[in-house]
Copies of this chain bind each other. A is one copy, B any other.
Amino acid sequence: MKYFNDLADFSIGEIKELVALARRLDDKPEPRVLEGKVLSLLFLSPSLRTLISFQSAMARLGGSTCVISPEMSIHGLESRSGIVMDGVAAEHIREAIPVIASYGDAIGIRAFAKRENLDDDLNDREFRELISLVDKPYINMESAINHPCQSLADWKTLDDLGIPASGGKLVLSWTWHPSPLPFAVPAATLHMAALRGMDVTVLRPEGFALPDAIMNKARQAATLSGGSVTETNDCSSAMQGSQVIYANSWASARHYGDKRAEDQIKPKLGEWCVDETWFGNAASDCRFMHCMPVRRGVSVTDRILDGPRSAIIAEARNRMLVQMALLHRMLSGS
């Protein structure tokens, strides 16, 4: 495996093999398989789960990680082209990326959406520029429009929970959040669930419809797999018979990059906070998923997070396990 950037680059069979490998490595550790191997991690955006799940994943296979993070003295990393660097920035990304990559056998890169230009973010323009500087295997650790490691972990989590692929019903719900968030997680989740063959409903308030590019990619995946993709702003109809609700938040595409305008069409705090009342006509054992970080009392109530519906800790742990599978496939030479 030369890169892991998008679940869409893999067949359903290949994804199932990765999930199976994650399960095998959880059951039967291989603590030497990556001995002497190094994964470079470049975080241009902050991280908690992604950082330590990758560190732990490499360590459990006998390898190591080298981390460059925003907390380090790299705030001045320049990325503009053709610039005369006579200001604060001491280093350009055109040198930093290949150098960091050269110290690893593979590189993981995280760069959140800039949320300035919708087309740039939908096309993952920044991440494509970054990886064009890399001549090693690479992993997308969340870009403007994708988060494939999260989606692979979620696929495994859905399997673990016994939620059927064909005929399984997942609601991807917008929830309240104080900030306009990127499309990476909702886009990746929607595509993943559709590719898994599920009937997916996007539940969101007016003004927060996902962009066509995201919906169309998911619909194509559904065509492949026999799943379906619909959208609504009605909670009750969305939740009808649902087996899992995946909560997230995202910006209004209509007012992209304009928080003030978005705030004017945004529902009130508390109106889109997942609570037990949402589950009235869902499957009785309908589960709750979230990629975290999650805001208590804002996106979801304590009752749900602390109750039996929540699968979020197992979901987070699956990040480590599927990344072990990725790294095994990428670096073990087998």
Contact = CB atoms under 8 A, between A and B. Distances in A.
Given A73-B70, A305-B95, A102 B296 contact: no
A298 B86 contact: yes
B59 A296 contact: no
Interface string A100-113: 10111000000000
Contacts of A48: 68, 72-74, 91, 96, 99-100
B293 A84 contact: no
A95 B320 contact: no
Interface stretch (A33-41, A219-227, A235-243): A33-41
A161 interface: no
Interface string A291-334: 01111111000100110000011001100100000000000000
Contacts of A98: 313
A297 to B, nearest CB: 4
Taking each of A30, A32, A56, which has the highest tally of chain B beta carbons within 10 Å of its own beta carbon?
A56
Interface of A: 29-32, 35-38, 40, 46-49, 51-53, 55-56, 59-64, 66-74, 78, 81-87, 90-92, 94-96, 98-100, 102-104, 178, 269, 292-298, 302, 305-306, 312-313, 316-317, 320
Given A60-B38, A74-B48, A94 B320 contact: no
A174 B106 CA distance: 35
- Minimum-distance CB pairs A-B, first 10: A31-B36, A59-B64, A46-B73, A84-B297, A91-B293, A85-B295, A52-B66, A102-B317, A56-B103, A31-B35
A94 B307 CA distance: 13
Contacts of A70: 73
Given A52-B100, A305-B94, A296 B85 contact: yes
A316 B297 CA distance: 44
Nearest to A320: B103
A36 to B, nearest CB: 3
Contacts of A87: 178
Given A84-B269, A95-B305, 20 more contacts: A32-B35, A32-B36, A38-B56, A46-B73, A48-B72, A49-B99, A52-B66, A52-B103, A56-B66, A59-B63, A78-B296, A82-B297, A85-B296, A86-B295, A91-B292, A92-B294, A95-B313, A99-B313, A99-B316, A102-B316
B72 A66 contact: no
A66 B62 contact: no
A83 B293 CA distance: 15
A60 B65 CA distance: 11
B73 A294 contact: no
